């Protein structure tokens, strides 16, 4: 069985989904839910459309904007 050729799909994306911080967006939008960032614990907004993106693109996880920036910097420095 050959597994050498695999079509690239949206699943190849990976990465982190960043959620807007409540400090940056105090009002939020209808349907947004407050949750704390699993990484740093800051309050941020979980948007209903993000849940679908996480499932479709097999993201590594979700975190606030600040943590996402840190993670990108970490990845680039390696």
Which residues of the shown chain bind Zn ion in the complex (CB under 5 A)? Answer: 37, 39-40, 63-64, 67
Q: How far is the CB of 78 from Zn ion (least distance, A)?
A: 20
Q: Which is nearer to Zn ion, 12 or 23 (CB)?
A: 23
Q: How far is the CB of 2 from Zn ion (least distance, A)?
A: 42
User: Please, what is the Cα angle at 21 between 58 and 62, to 5 degrees?
Assistant: 15
Q: Which is nearer to Zn ion, 7 or 74 (CB)?
A: 74
* End-to-end alpha carbon distance in the chain: 35
Work out the burial of residue 35: count CB atoms within 10 Å of its CB; fewer than 13 is exposed, 13-18 middle, 19 or more buried: middle
List phi, psi (to 5°) of 71: -65, -40
Q: How far is the CB of 18 from Zn ion (least distance, A)?
A: 9
Q: Which is nearer to Zn ion, 9 or 72 (CB)?
A: 72
């Amino acid at each position: 069985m050959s597994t050498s050729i695999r079509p690239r799909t949206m699943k190849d994306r990976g990465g982190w989904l960043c959620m807007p911080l409540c400090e940056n967006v105090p009002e939020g939008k209808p349907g947004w839910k407050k949750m704390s960032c699993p990484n740093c614990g800051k309050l941020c907004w979980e948007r209903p459309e993000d849940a679908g993106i996480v499932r479709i693109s097999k993201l590594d996880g979700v975190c606030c904007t600040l943590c996402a920036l840190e993670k990108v910097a970490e990845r680039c420095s390696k």
